[in-house]
Structure formats: C-alpha cells, structure tokens
Structure 1
Amino acid sequence: MTMANSAFGAGVIVFMALGTAALAYRRGHSLLPWLTLGGLIPIVALPWLFLTKPKRQPGEQPPAGMLPLATISFLAVAGIIGIQVVSAPATIPACDNYFAQSDLKNVVANSPAGKAAGLSIVTLTDIKEVSKTPTEARCAATARMNNTSVVLMDYRFFIEAGQLLIEAHWH
C-alpha cells in the first residue's frame, strides 16, 4: 500500500466518523461514541443511527451547524473516493478477463479492417497468455467471427503514456 492510498483511507475514515458523529449529535446522541462508531464501522453506524429514535425532545432545536458539517463530511468522502478512482493507474488485464475480451471485440469491430468487412468476434476460445510483463501482455486465441470463419488471433494489451491500449492481428 502506498503512502497516498494510506492518506486516502485515513481521510475517508476521518470524514465518515465526523459526518456520522455530526448527524448523531444533531439527533441528540453523544458525540464521542458515534465518532468512534462512525470511523470504525460506518456501514453499521449510519443505518443504526437512522433506525433508532432521536434522543432530542420534540420541539427542542438541534445544535446549529451539525447538518452542514455532516453534509460537507460526506461530500469530502465522495470526493476522496472519486479522486482515487480517477487517478488509479492503468493495469494489464489477464488475457481471459471478461472486460479484456469485451475490449478486444470492440477493437476488432471498430478497426478499419473490421469496419470494411463488417467483421466482429462472436466467441473467443483456447485463450492463452504468451507472455506478460508489468506493461504488456501478449495473448493468443481462436476467434469465431460473425461471418462463420474461424481465425487465429494474436493480440496484446500494453500501457503507453499511462493508457491501456490493445493491438490485434488475425490470420
């Protein structure tokens, strides 16, 4: 785990704890137990908080600022998770990975040769990983095309300039 991932994880825990505690305090509960519970197991704390009765008496005003604090905390959690998802580096998939196969089918169908002949892959069988490094995977498979032909497919997944690219050849 990298230092950045640890910082993101700590940020999520802190903001989840703060948001849960702010909502609990607004509903009349003690701050410290809900701060702890919200940080350790928010998936239990939040439903429990809303399924139990508030401890605040009817007509009693909730403390000012707790709802905005909770809202900002939960938005911060969403932002941290969003940043982590967007900044995730490209990774090389396994040759037989479902999404890799789907991407390969799209590459073939949208290639100049695929468009000109109206070709697309129907199924891939006998998928084999020929070689794999951290930045490239070379694969081979048998492809049944939509024109009923069966072809040998050589393809590779590689990372260039931080992007996952696919190159395919069939014969």
Structure 2
Amino acid sequence: MIPIVHPADLPLEEMQQGTLYRSRDVSITSRLGITKLGVSYSEVPPGKSGCPFHNHLAEDEVFVILEGTGIYRFGASEHPIKAGDVLGAPAGGTETAHQIRNTGETPLRYLSLSNSAAADIVQYPDSGKFQAHARDSTGRSFRFVGRPASELDYWDGEPGA
C-alpha cells in the first residue's frame, strides 16, 4: 500500500438527484489505510449542491475547499467560501446543519473529513426527516429514513405487551 492519493487519478462516482443535487465523489479512506477517519473527495458543478442541508448528532465533519467558490450554509446563516477555506461542521442539533453550494463558474472541489461514527442520526431541517444509520466491524449495516410522525410506541407489536 502507498499512503498517498491523488484525487484526479481516482474513479469518481457521479450522483444526480433532481435539479439541485449533483456531484462526483470518491471515498479515499480505505485507499489510505485509515479506519477511524472518513475522507472523501468531491466535485460539485456550478449551481449545484452535493447533498441536502443536514446535521449529524454524532459525527463531526471538516471540509477543505481546494478549488472554486460557493456558499456554506451553516445553521441560520450563509458564508461565502473559496479555495483555501476550512469549514467546520461539529456534531449537534439543527444549529449545526450545513450544506455546501457551488455559486461559481467552475467546479467546486473539496475534501471532506469526519470522525466516521459507527452510529449516527442525521436530521434534514428543510424536509423534516431524519436518517438513522449504524455499522459494525464486520460491515453489517442498518439504515432508516423517516419522519418523527412515524414514531411508534416502544412496546408496539411486542408479544404479550
């Protein structure tokens, strides 16, 4: 293993959803031999965002802007961003919700780093939904996306309850 990665040489996975979301991404964590830190590279075209406005209850994130310009929506505010900026997205409630949007004329390229929590709850303030996900050391995983209105009583459906 060579512990050096050049993102431009890696195969990027294209994602597009609707008219606002589009990106090309690749996880580089395993390529670096890292197990407790999530690292990925993203390219977002002009006028697009790579993901919805969201916050993590357990996972801290840092973004390093490599090229381009955009807006960093964080909590109730928006901040202009450019190459060389380092953005923090600490774990917390909706006050730490975040989203990167490309407002420039060229692709916005950045690195994402996270503590890669084994379990997390992600909230999406704009749509009122949440995601619960967890994984274990063997790679087994669980993921559920819903809204608080779908909550059941703890004892719902249990035998003899």
Taking CA–CA contacts closer than 8 Å with sequence separation of 6 or more, which of the two structures ends up with the larger relative contact order? Answer: 2
- TM-score by structure 1 length? 0.23
Structure number with the higher helix fraction is 1
Structure having the higher strand fraction is 2
Larger radius of gyration: 1
